[in-house]
Structure 1
Amino acid sequence: MKTMEITWLHYYDIIYKVASLTGMWPFLKSRIKIFRVTLLTLITLTVLVPQIAYQLRCHKSDISCICESMTSYLLSVVILVKIYTFQLNIRAIRSFTQRLFLDWEELKNPEEYEIMKSYATNSRRFSLIYSVYCLSASPIFMSMSLVPFVLDITSPLNESRPTLPPYPGYYFVNIREYFFQILWHAIIAWEILIAGIVAHDCMFVMYVEHICSKFAVVGFRFEHLFYKDKEMEIFKINSYDIYRKKIAFIVHKHREALKFAQLLENIFTIPFAIQMLIATIGISITLLQVTQQNSDVVKSIRYVLYIVGQLIHLFFLSFEGQKLIDHSMQMRDRIYNSCWYEASMRSQKLLVLIMLKSLQPTFLSAGTIYIFSLESFTMVLQTSMSYFTVLASFQ
């Protein structure tokens, strides 16, 4: 294996390990993938069944109980959506990932390699931070159910405080008697399920960052097309336009980046539509739950942490979507900053076509309705607050 290949593989090691453990890495053997995905599904069912059972036991008029159960099992549904997004699009995912690795081998010079490396570094940094955050937040959230037991020891009352389950659910047994068994199951199960969320989101970010790097490399090639590599002096273009083939090649690479972005849109648009709907409803319901916890501080803190987690997840997706939009629209500026006026009229027409194409931003969406951008992120917050206001009016 080449030294350069070893170097860039380093930037995807975290994503590879997490995705492999959860069965989402596209190059796993079929038996291993089926086993791990099946195991992940069964673990999801072990937490989803108590959540649904809790929902069914709620009285129709008890909105508080219904909302509490919904905040729990909606997250489990999101996990299933994320797991099977990769399984139902395995061919497209495998093709995309293969192309990602081949792009490194087609780099022309060290400057392009540094550009690609900077975006791969962003992917690795996100994967590391996101993994640590998610995998540490889950046990902390579950462990807050120990607070009543601790208070019973430090500040005892005439009777024991109500037991706070790790997550809302009906466990078919006495929860106080089997509390620690339920807690350990919750911590282990949710750690595994959260790993599925981490794998999905990290691979998505890896793909978006790679597409952005392709736009950046294409822009770099346009800016330096009319310069000598060493002396950085402008070439005098002759009548035969020696750069026409180079421009055609760069145009092909730009179209390839657009094609990849469209492929990513086709893979994730419907799953993201489901996730966005669930996230909006979940945030609205959780806000309502926070207002109803007048005296239970621990529950209020847990709901607030749940909302913060949802917002962080949504912000990362919106940030990556905004980044893709910016990179696609910056292409015209990169061309304009080059010495395009030194090219022949025929070559200039090719450049104009790309600049016109860049006027229409490349974006990722949820069901072609919600476009992932920072502006849309604020819109979701406003929508969630509107739903929360409507729900609160029924109280």
Structure 2
Amino acid sequence: MQATEERYYKINQIVLMVLGIWPYQQSYFTQIQKAFFASVLLTFILVQLLVFVTTQCNAYLLLKILSIVFPFLFVTIKYCLFIIQADSVKQMLDRIRDDWKSLKDKVEIDIIKKYAHSIWFSSIISIVVLCACSLILFTLQCLPLILDVILPLNESRSFQLIVITEYFINQDKYIYIILFHEALACFVAEITLCGTLITMMTFIWHSCALFKIACYRMENAIEKSALTIPIFERQYLFYQRIIHAVFIHRKAIEFAELFTSNFTVLFAILIVVGVSSLSINLFQITLIDNRTEDAYIIPLLIAVHLNYMFIINYGGQKMTDYEKELFKVTYNGLWYTAPLRIQKLLLFIMLKGYKDVTLIFGGMYIVSLQGFASLTNAAISYFMVMHSTKK
């Protein structure tokens, strides 16, 4: 993206470039990046599942391992999704760039800048929270090792990894290597979750901006100052303004539909994995033992699940709300002062604006606040089923 909008999406670009999934950079080095990061995530899932090979499996151990495996599986699928759909992501970023270039009106440029700035600010907040959480978790994980250096005792303090893994090696001897693998996998997972979420919200928020611009154009299509113009000139002027409003509104709908069509199948898989992950982690709350790390890692995972689900569904809800605004703006305008042909045209626009434009994944799930409530209820229901079987 080489236009004015580049600075608003710079953070997102940097994060995706670090992960090797920036669609405009497809070099040999990025292929190595993708293979490396994907292997880090997959091997970390594998070493957790290998525990079942060497340890007698029970319900407690199964759920404890799955409570970490499922979030990493979610992130891994999403990382692979952005690799597979690199061309689609590039196509949508190209459309954003073209939309920026097509705007000439200062107010319209200010509108799209406002929404782009929201993404930029959200990116900053996400990166800061990511770094803070990573630092805190890593410090708590390595606290015994740090205290052994700062305040040494006659014997080393007991040290245990947060995640149960099996490497088929002496873990005490190679603890630093294992710790490095865990820290690297967590870092890759966190930055992947952050980068892909920002990209998705960029697409959703851009759709909202286009709908807002369409409303602005429609709101100013018929002005009192234009009523003094001769009838034929006035009719032509109104036609042109309405056409421009309909044009940008149609672009917004096409952009939203493109986003849905490109990601619908794999996002349906992510919904299943995400709800299952949240249910298992909710159940883990009831099984927390005396381990200090369990007391903060499980609630943190639940908070991440709920925040992620809410942010995505909130974006989908806002897009639907802005699309409906076109109907209200058209209805509350000066349509009654327009010629009869214009009034008939506005009637069709209101009928079109009255229909909901929604993000639908998997052909059944609507991204909205109601969808967020449905997913949360589903996760709680599965949690209650698991809890009812607890002895």
Match in the other structure for 2:10: 13
Match in the other structure for 1:59: 56
Match in the other structure for 1:332: 327
2: CA distance, partners of 1:168 / 1:366: 34
- 2:19 partner letter: T
Q: Deviations over 1:332-364 (max 9, x none)?
A: 112123222232222223322222122221122
State, as a whole percentage, how many aligned pairs show the same letter: 27
Match in the other structure for 2:24: 27
1: CA distance, partners of 2:55 / 2:346: 63
- 1:221 partner letter: R
Change (3 A) 1:235 1:269: farther
Shift of 1:73: 1.7
Match in the other structure for 1:238: 231
The answer to whether residue 78 in structure 2 is matched with residue 82 in structure 1 is yes
Choose which of 332, 343, 347 in structure 2 pairs with 1:348: 343
Change (3 A) 1:177 1:235: farther
Choose which of 205, 208, 211 in structure 2 pairs with 1:215: 211
8 Å contact 2:360–2:367 — kept in the other structure? yes
2: CA distance, partners of 1:160 / 1:107: 65
Q: Deviations over 1:76-126 (max 9, x none)?
A: 221222122223223322221111111111113111111010000111111
Choose which of 40, 44, 55 in structure 2 pairs with 1:43: 40
8 Å contact 1:146–1:164 — kept in the other structure? no
Shift of 1:162: 5.9
Shift of 1:170: 1.4
When structure 1 is superposed on structure 2, of 333-342 and 49-58 the one drifting more is: 49-58
Choose which of 114, 122, 125 in structure 1 pairs with 2:121: 125
Q: Secondary structure at the match of 2:50?
A: helix
Q: Secondary structure at the match of 1:226?
A: coil
TM-score by length of 1: 0.89
2: CA distance, partners of 1:157 / 1:32: 46
Match in the other structure for 1:387: 382
When structure 1 is superposed on structure 2, of 209-218 and 43-52 the one drifting more is: 43-52
8 Å contact 2:162–2:293 — kept in the other structure? no
Q: Deviations over 1:368-393 (max 9, x none)?
A: 33222222222222221211111112
Shift of 1:160: 7.7
When structure 1 is superposed on structure 2, of 266-275 and 217-226 the one drifting more is: 266-275
Q: Secondary structure at the match of 2:231?
A: coil
Shift of 1:274: 1.7
Match in the other structure for 1:267: 262
Change (3 A) 1:153 1:35: closer
Match in the other structure for 2:317: 322
1: CA distance, partners of 2:84 / 2:335: 44
- 1:132 partner letter: V
TM alignment of 1:154-303, pairs within 5 A: 163-227=159-223, 234=227, 236=229, 238-239=231-232, 241-242=235-236, 243-303=238-298
- 1:103 partner letter: D
Change (3 A) 1:37 1:105: same
2: CA distance, partners of 1:147 / 1:369: 46
2: CA distance, partners of 1:237 / 1:168: 79
The answer to whether residue 102 in structure 2 is matched with residue 106 in structure 1 is yes
1: CA distance, partners of 2:30 / 2:245: 38
